[in-house]
Structure 1
Amino acid sequence: MSVTGETVTQEELGGAKTHTATSGVAHKAFENDVEALLQVRDFFNFLPLSNEDPSPIRQCSDPWDREVAGLDTVVPLETTAAYDIKAVISGVADDSEFFEIMPMYAKNIVVGFARMNGRTVGMVGNQPKVAAGCLDINASVKGARFVRFCDAFNIPIVTFVDVPGFLPGTNQEYGGIIRHGAKLLFAYAEATVPKITVITRKAYGGAYDVMSSKHLRGDTNYAWPTAEVAVMGAKGAVSIIFRGKDQAKNEAEYIEKFANPFPASKRGFVDDIIEPRATRKQICIDLDMLASKKLGNPWKKHANMPL
């Protein structure tokens, strides 16, 4: 580039790979125009005709009360082991179909469209396979934009939570992770569409709060038996509380007390603890119940989004 003196090719500066994987400007890239048009048709099939129409419903042959036995074992016994959140999303979706949005950008969060008993829903999930599912600047902005889009077009949002926290480091702090993370929190808090949340494993600290928690007006919030709702992981918490004394003993006690969904359930932060195999059935029941959801929010032009 003659202006800045950088040595860069046209493809590296503004090509498909750059804008789908690095900048996030483009949502998807395709091999040819035929594939692009077919994908756009699939995308439009998920959307209502206007922002005044409800989430579209089409005929579905996949039983709404189908049990998904594979979900009982999808979360590894080892809390630090990774698994694919897309397996959970596909498992509960009609005919296991999931239309992912921005698949190459901020892979630590997964967003896209699916159908539940024929009804279009927006799916959001932390991805434990990438950066342990931590939220960073790019993931927060990606998630916030998708949630806002769903809210604009009356599409219910289903959120799967497995988040150990916000990604630490000077790069994130200097980049404004607090401000950008607030965008995702704001998007969930202001969304008036039905919001259903399922905690599959880790739900730690502020990142748990951001992911459509009950504190952000989540309509129904559930936890699997493998869920851990706490300020932080046992190892980090014990090192602070007990300053390293009797580490193993105190860690085991902390896990028994807090590394499970029961304390959160007692306090009303989750509505129920459900078996993973019953997740699809429960979501379909809640979507029917929330189909007529109306909020009497105070009138205003708009709120002040943390841009």
Structure 2
Amino acid sequence: MTTTDLPRTAQGTAAKIAELARRREVARQGARSAVEKQHAKGKLTARERIDAFLDPGSFVEVDEFARHGAGAYGDDTREAYGDGVVTGYGLVDGRPVCVYAQDFTVFGGSVGERVGQKIVKVMQRAIEVGCPIVGLNDSGGARIQEGVASLAAYGEIGYHIALASGVVPQISLILGPCAGGAVYGPAATDVVVMVENTSHQFVTGPDVVRAVTGEDVTFEELGGPAANAEAGNVHYVATDEQDALDWVQSLLSYLPSNNLDEPPDFGAADLEISADDLALNEVVPDEPNRLYDMRRVVRHVVDDGEFLELQAAFAPNLLVGLARIEGRTVGVVANQPLHLSGALDIDASEKGARFIQFCDAFNIPILTLVDVPGYFPGLAQERGGIIRRGVKLSFAYATATVPMVTVIVRKAYGGGYASMGCKHYRVDANLAWPTAEIAVMGGEAAVSVLFRRQLQEAAATGDVESLHAALVAAYREQRCTPYEAAERGYVDAVIAPSETRTEVAKALRMLRTKRQASPARKHTNFPL
């Protein structure tokens, strides 16, 4: 090489570096007008969302220069690098996470062949290395110009969601429109988040509903966050996008990176019985039918009173969520007396069963707090399939292998006792408060069945009320207590409410090395 060649080589390299910088700028800026429209709707762009979510400077982009493989796109001649989705990996609180963010500024974030390939590639990486997958969804749906290739992209994404299920946590944020086949992918992930006013999801939009059924509904009524939350399709509704991203960061702090890891350990908390613990002694009313908020019990038992509740608007008669005891994650399942007196119905059974499966998949111990009068009766429940759908809850407990601790706070009647983590489904530690009432049914109902003839005879003499009251009091004294169950070993210990936090922590500490072998089989046949 001569000296005259050197400047030409340098110039060539400089030009190539400049071209790289230009392409990066094109890929990252999006269409200016589309970015402005995104901001006008109160929405961030795909890259802004990733920057707000991941630790600063940690994002590594993959396939930045990918372009669509279809033919003509009308008059749009933009280079459109990235092809409607930004993919890669980074850190959240120092822990690896794979992420994809649909880019509404590029072809409306529509899904075509390249978009599907990019998303699948980052999902495969997450499965291989064992880290969570977070999807930021904001898309106009299938890319019509690419025909069947778009449908194939959705199919590949759906297959890999199923492949990753129970292997790594999968979290979906719906940050814009999500319709048709696009809704099924997020629905199959572990946790779904929506944002007030800016996100919608439905199988068919208002126009199709109007044409087919004649029903006139708005986007918000059909697929808004509130409607989806009440239907159980969403685990959390955020006030804005930053709230959604912050909430997912908090969620990840409770979860392991994959099914072979343990959840993060934040260090043991002080277990000395405090004045706050003593307040538990006053939570349950003396009157058996008086209501109270089970969240008070949860917050007294867990570290720092912090409870990350999931699906709060769906089946509110059952609480589920994540918390910590001695710095370690636990999944909480608890009846809520403020709604349906804590009775189990179809929605509560399915809500609890899926949450238990989620905890079991990711090595999260389960704490169950019981105050259940049984299954909610009625024609609507029976016609809705309460038999096959209600059994999901007890089936989930029976097949779970993680450490499980149950505390019976007040009522544990009939099928509700069996379904809420009883000893007979191999729950490891079963505790009861002195206020626990463990029986086939409550005193009022039991007396009406057992002493029907005596009550009928008393009614003829006009002295039925005092007899009924005496019989109920006697039945409750003899049968509606935790002590008969304790005598038979169905309850391991009866404890004062103020001792709950300490006793639960001791049980979980002992169970950390639990190993449970299952019978040889391909998989269980979960009730539908």
1:144-183 matched pairs, under 5 angstroms: 144-183=353-392
Query: C-alpha displacement at 1:73, in angstroms?
Result: 0.6
Query: C-alpha displacement at 1:268, in angstroms?
Result: 1.0
Q: Extract unaligned runs of 5+ from structure 2.
A: 1-209, 456-466
Q: Which amino acid aligns with 1:250?
A: L
Counterpart CA distance in 2 for 1:302 and 1:83 is 40
Q: Please list the CA deviations of residues 171-213 of structure 1 after superposition, one character each: whole Å capped at 9, or x if unmatched.
A: 0000011111111011010000000000000000011100000
1:266 aligns with 2:487: yes
Q: Please list the CA deviations of residues 85-105 of structure 1 after superposition, one character each: whole Å capped at 9, or x if unmatched.
A: 100000011111100001111
1:63 aligns with 2:270: yes
Query: C-alpha displacement at 1:259, in angstroms?
Result: 1.4
Correspondence for 2:398: 189
Moved more, 140-149 or 237-246: 237-246
1:132 aligns with 2:341: yes
CA contact under 8 A between 1:47 and 1:56: conserved in structure 2? yes
Match among 300, 319, 326 for residue 91 of structure 1: 300
1:30 aligns with 2:238: yes
Query: C-alpha displacement at 1:253, in angstroms?
Result: 1.4
Question: Secondary structure, in 3 states, of the residue corresponding to 1:104?
Answer: coil
Counterpart CA distance in 1 for 2:370 and 2:255 is 25
Query: C-alpha displacement at 1:83, in angstroms?
Result: 0.6
1:231 aligns with 2:440: yes
Correspondence for 1:7: 216
Counterpart CA distance in 1 for 2:346 and 2:491 is 27
Q: Please list the CA deviations of residues 61-84 of structure 1 after superposition, one character each: whole Å capped at 9, or x if unmatched.
A: x30344411100100000100111
Question: Secondary structure, in 3 states, of the residue corresponding to 1:55?
Answer: coil
1:205 aligns with 2:426: no
Query: C-alpha displacement at 1:13, in angstroms?
Result: 0.7
CA contact under 8 A between 2:257 and 2:263: conserved in structure 1? no
Counterpart CA distance in 2 for 1:39 and 1:171 is 36
Correspondence for 1:105: 314
Q: Which amino acid aligns with 1:140?
A: S
CA contact under 8 A between 1:128 and 1:162: conserved in structure 2? yes
Length-normalised TM-score, structure 2:
0.57
CA contact under 8 A between 1:64 and 1:116: conserved in structure 2? no
Correspondence for 2:523: 302
Length-normalised TM-score, structure 1:
0.97
Counterpart CA distance in 1 for 2:390 and 2:424 is 16
1:248 aligns with 2:455: no
Q: Please list the CA deviations of residues 4-32 of structure 1 after superposition, one character each: whole Å capped at 9, or x if unmatched.
A: 111211111111000001x1111111111
Correspondence for 1:292: 513
Match among 20, 42, 53 for residue 250 of structure 2: 42
Counterpart CA distance in 2 for 1:222 and 1:31 is 39
CA contact under 8 A between 1:224 and 1:275: conserved in structure 2? yes
Structure showing greater relative contact order (alpha-carbon pairs closer than 8 Å, 6 or more residues apart): 1
Query: C-alpha displacement at 1:55, in angstroms?
Result: 3.1
CA contact under 8 A between 1:180 and 1:306: conserved in structure 2? yes
Moved more, 297-306 or 11-20: 297-306
Question: Secondary structure, in 3 states, of the residue corresponding to 1:252?
Answer: helix
Question: Secondary structure, in 3 states, of the residue corresponding to 1:54?
Answer: coil
Counterpart CA distance in 1 for 2:309 and 2:473 is 39
Q: Which amino acid aligns with 2:398?
A: A
Query: C-alpha displacement at 1:56, in angstroms?
Result: 2.5
Structure showing greater radius of gyration is 2
Q: Which amino acid aligns with 1:191?
A: A
- 1:302 to 1:65, Cα distance in 2 relative to 1, 3 A: farther
Query: C-alpha displacement at 1:227, in angstroms?
Result: 0.3
Question: Secondary structure, in 3 states, of the residue corresponding to 1:81?
Answer: coil
Q: Please list the CA deviations of residues 101-141 of structure 1 after superposition, one character each: whole Å capped at 9, or x if unmatched.
A: 01111100000000000000000100001110000000000
CA contact under 8 A between 1:65 and 1:280: conserved in structure 2? no
Q: Which amino acid aligns with 2:251?
A: F
Counterpart CA distance in 2 for 1:112 and 1:26 is 13
Q: Which amino acid aligns with 1:17?
A: A
CA contact under 8 A between 1:55 and 1:156: conserved in structure 2? no
Q: Please list the CA deviations of residues 138-179 of structure 1 after superposition, one character each: whole Å capped at 9, or x if unmatched.
A: 000000010000000000000000000100000000001111
Q: Which amino acid aligns with 1:261?
A: P
Moved more, 214-223 or 51-60: 51-60
Correspondence for 2:498: 277
Counterpart CA distance in 2 for 1:198 and 1:249 is 29
CA contact under 8 A between 1:223 and 1:273: conserved in structure 2? yes
Q: Which amino acid aligns with 1:297?
A: S
CA contact under 8 A between 2:235 and 2:310: conserved in structure 1? yes
Correspondence for 2:13: none
Question: Secondary structure, in 3 states, of the residue corresponding to 2:331?
Answer: strand
Q: Which amino acid aligns with 1:135?
A: L
